[in-house]
Amino acid sequence: MRILVASSEAHPLIKVGGLADVAGSLPVALRDLGQDARLILPAYPQAVKRVRELRTLGDLQLSLSQTQVRILGGLLPNREVPVYLVEAPAYFCREGNPYTDTSGRDWGDNAERFLLFCEAVVRISLGCPILDWRPDILHCNDWQTGLAPALLHRNDQAPGIVFTIHNLAYQGLFDRETFDRLRLPEELWSLDGLEFHQQFSFIKGGIVFADRVNTVSPTYAREVQTLEHGCGLHGLLSALGDRFSGILNGIDYQVWNPAADPHIPQPYDRDSFSLKAENKLALQREFGLPRNEEALLFGYIGRLFAQKGVDLILAILPRLLAQPNVQIIFQGSGETGIEQALLTAQETYPDRIGVFLGYDEVRAHRIEAGSDAFLMPSRFEPCGLNQLYSLRYGTVPIVRRTGGLADTVVDAGMAGIETGKSTGFHFEAPSAEDLWGAVQRSCTLFWQHPQAWRRMALNGMAQDFSWEASARQYLQLYQAALAPARERKALP
């Protein structure tokens, strides 16, 4: 099957969040299963720099965007995955990240930028002379690609279209004037189209017009069909029936493997689990915390936004740190208020809390390897990756029972530890009280039942969340999306 994966980020070319991990890994896993999967991205300077064997394939004139773009082609730096880059320097060559300027403000022309990207994706999906390749399946990801399915609507030559929602909270909403300015077909402005409460919604393009829609865990797929988590789209998603499903993300075990991780001071595996402690000592040194092998060291890595529930951790800090042998390390960046609160907490407890504000992939490996437990108190979590890295690194995850966290971390109590089932701790409500309950249980297990703790960590390390299983499920989804595409083509 020829599969074109369209995404606005892909690791290791450019990354803002979990979408990049998926877009970078899924095509690799699909190719390992014998499929011809390729990637298409905007030509951000970071991506241009990293793509191997980059060459110009040709130019495309885009009618709605009223501009010409250049299509570049090459390979992912570390894998044999073909990549197409849509070059439009006025739109994509900027300081900042794919969505915001350096101060975190959305680019004022995001609608224009991603319309342009979608138009290029559409042209390639329909087969254009500069490419000599045409996909059977177009796999769009998140709102930035939502206009592609909308523009392919009613085109009987369209490939099968799959749209994946990585986070429903980001919808690509703009006003009616923007819709008019983009000169989109008027018929798309309707409740069965891109209109969403008098606004213009990119994500609806994907949800309404793709042949199959999925999100990144079965539990999140159920949650977003409820008023509480549906961000206003629960009715539409429920109405999709069996065209909507959840497929868990995998992780890249070549990158996240404690037995052969070049970024950690002391590699280890299940048989040499006691060596993990060396990483804790190194991490304490790195963050200027007292050397203390007995300490229960909690880690946190992630974007610092309300979604992630870092405020709940901050709320329990006085109680948590009232215990002598507890340390905690935070790494992340995001809202200024949360960043500031972390710095204040560090000033208050300088020998107990380590903070690194910023994005640092290599340091993330050291935190995963050096922590005993990992905190992930997300208010919602479509899939989540860090809990999966934690499981692999024998770093016991403490998670809120929501979305992908509920699907990947098993809290089956003491009995479940012995049978190999329990891999971490759950809590229910997004409240400091409930988080505190789970953290207390983790403290009890760590200090009073060290053998059981070790067993739980080893249970986690034995889990398999590799991409292969997820890729096989995507293949089934693609198969399902091919049927309507065939029907379209058979129409007179």
The residues of the shown chain that bind ligand ADP, judged by CB under 6 A, are 17-18, 21, 301-303, 331-333, 359-361, 364, 383-386
Output 136 or 339, the one with its CB closest to ligand ADP.
339
The Cα 381–Cα 198 span in angstroms is 28
What number of other Cβ atoms are within 10 A of residue 239's Cβ?
12
Strand (E) or helix (H) holding 116: helix 110-125
DSSP state of 68: E
Output 47 or 445, the one with its CB closest to ligand ADP.
47
- How many Å is the Cα radius of gyration of the chain? 23
To the nearest whole angstrom, how small is the minimum distance from the Cβ of residue 279 to ligand ADP?
A: 17
How far, in Å, are 243, 247, 289, 425, 483 from residue 212 at the CA level?
Answer: 5, 12, 50, 34, 11
To the nearest whole angstrom, how small is the minimum distance from the Cβ of residue 102 to ligand ADP?
A: 16
To the nearest whole angstrom, how small is the minimum distance from the Cβ of residue 140 to ligand ADP?
A: 17
To the nearest whole angstrom, how small is the minimum distance from the Cβ of residue 131 to ligand ADP?
A: 31
The Cα 257–Cα 116 span in angstroms is 38
The Cα 492–Cα 489 span in angstroms is 8
Query: Angle formed by the axes of helices 18-32 and 467-490, to 10°?
Result: 80
Kind of pairing between the strands at 160-165 and 137-141: parallel
Output 333 or 463, the one with its CB closest to ligand ADP.
333
Output 267 or 302, the one with its CB closest to ligand ADP.
302
Output 327 or 408, the one with its CB closest to ligand ADP.
408
Using left for φ > 0, alpha for ψ between -120 and 50, and beta otherwise, residue 264 falls in beta
The Cα 180–Cα 176 span in angstroms is 6
Q: Is 471 exposed, middle or buried (0-12, 13-18, 19+ CB in 10 A)?
A: buried
To the nearest whole angstrom, how small is the minimum distance from the Cβ of residue 21 to ligand ADP?
A: 5
Output 263 or 449, the one with its CB closest to ligand ADP.
263
| Amino acid making up residue 457 | A
Output 30 or 301, the one with its CB closest to ligand ADP.
301
Strand (E) or helix (H) holding 340: helix 336-348
To the nearest whole angstrom, how small is the minimum distance from the Cβ of residue 82 to ligand ADP?
A: 24
Which residue's Cβ lies closest to ligand ADP?
A: 18
98 HSE (CA, 13 A, CB side) = 21
DSSP 418-455: HTT---SEEE-SSSHHHHHHHHHHHHHHHHH-HHHHHH
What number of other Cβ atoms are within 10 A of residue 391's Cβ?
28
To the nearest whole angstrom, how small is the minimum distance from the Cβ of residue 342 to ligand ADP?
A: 12
Output 331 or 408, the one with its CB closest to ligand ADP.
331
Rounded to the nearest angstrom, the gap between the alpha carbon of residue 334 and the centroid of all alpha carbons in its chain is 16
Instruction: Record the tokens describing residue 481, joined without a space.
Output: 């999306």
The Cα 51–Cα 79 span in angstroms is 10
Output 107 or 359, the one with its CB closest to ligand ADP.
359
DSSP state of 337: H
To the nearest whole angstrom, how small is the minimum distance from the Cβ of residue 22 to ligand ADP?
A: 8
Q: Is 169 exposed, middle or buried (0-12, 13-18, 19+ CB in 10 A)?
A: middle
In 3D, which of 236, 221, 117, 115 has the Cα closest to residue 477?
Answer: 221
To the nearest whole angstrom, how small is the minimum distance from the Cβ of residue 228 to ligand ADP?
A: 18
First to last CA, the chain: 25
Output 21 or 411, the one with its CB closest to ligand ADP.
21
In 3D, which of 201, 203, 212, 208 has the Cα closest to residue 138?
Answer: 212
To the nearest whole angstrom, how small is the minimum distance from the Cβ of residue 390 to ligand ADP?
A: 10
Output 21 or 223, the one with its CB closest to ligand ADP.
21
- Residue 257's SS3 state is coil
Output 125 or 331, the one with its CB closest to ligand ADP.
331
To the nearest whole angstrom, how small is the minimum distance from the Cβ of residue 173 to ligand ADP?
A: 19
To the nearest whole angstrom, how small is the minimum distance from the Cβ of residue 395 to ligand ADP?
A: 12
